[in-house]
Chains A and B, each alone.
Chain A
Amino acid sequence: NAGVMQNPRHLVRRRGQEARLRCSPMKGHSHVYWYRQLPEEGLKFMVYLQKENIIDESGMPKERFSAEFPKEGPSILRIQQVVRGDSAAYFCASSPTLAASTDTQYFGPGTRLTVL
């Protein structure tokens, strides 16, 4: 029973390049969340997606950042024209469904992005 998978685990980019981070949710989970953790900080919500739909992107920077969760394949967090301030750990979480009570979100191991 595989957990949430993220790849790559480490990603180095130069300023101005693009970064693509992938997340495969746990089997049977249809909800994906992306969070960012800056050094010495807690995790900050970025975006919540279901298959083919963005439900809440209130935490996403207005420019350069985008996310998708296609019908087939993993969820992708895309950062265009990266800057040094984008260096952080990016975590993906998944949950099975939004039923009567909140479902626990299970996290992947994260992708550590370093922008040179």
Chain B
Amino acid sequence: DQQVKQNSPSLSVQEGRISILNCDYTNSMFDYFLWYKKYPAEGPTFLISISSIKDKNEDGRFTVFLNKSAKHLSLHIVPSQPGDSAVYFCAASETGGSEKLVFGKGTKLTVNP
């Protein structure tokens, strides 16, 4: 039973354009969401997070949008750069518990020069 789903295994965009990565969740108890970026043979690197009391959080080229009613969040990268090519993982947790992260399977983003 996958509680966090990333339905697109891969995404390819042109340099300079917008990349939109999507994530859906089923557990209504999740109230904190994170995006991690991962290069091969490395650990995940934290990118950006959002609490359920917000619907948008922005950090430079990265913006995360949260739609609680739809149980959906998305990561926007604009403009996309070749160095953004990596696997992006969406993760969720419940505050008040042990706060373990539940991860999606990831989306491999390729930014073409």
* Complex contact B43–A110 (CB within 8 A): yes
Q: Residues of A contacting B42 with CB < 8 Å?
A: 109-110
CA distance A79 to B89 in the complex (A): 26
Contacts of B43 in A (CB 8 A): 4, 6, 91, 107-110
When A43-B44, A43-B89 are in contact, do A102 and B98 touch as well, CB less than 8 Å? no
Within 8 A of B (CB), among A58-116: 58-59, 91, 93, 95, 98, 101-110, 112
- Complex formed: what's the CA distance from A107 to B46 in Å? 8
Q: How many residues of B contact A (CB 8 A)?
A: 27
Q: Are B95 and A105 in contact (CB under 8 A)?
A: no
Question: CA–CA, A110 to B32, complex, Å?
Answer: 24
Please tell me the size bucket of the interface on A: 20 to 34
CA distance A20 to B11 in the complex (A): 37
Q: Enumerate chain B residues within 8 angstroms of A112, measured Cβ to Cβ.
A: 41
Across the interface, which residues of A come within 8 angstroms of B103, CB to CB? 35, 42-44
When distances are taken between beta carbons in the complex, the residues of chain A under 8 Å from B93 are: 102
Smallest beta-carbon distance A29→chain B, Å:
13
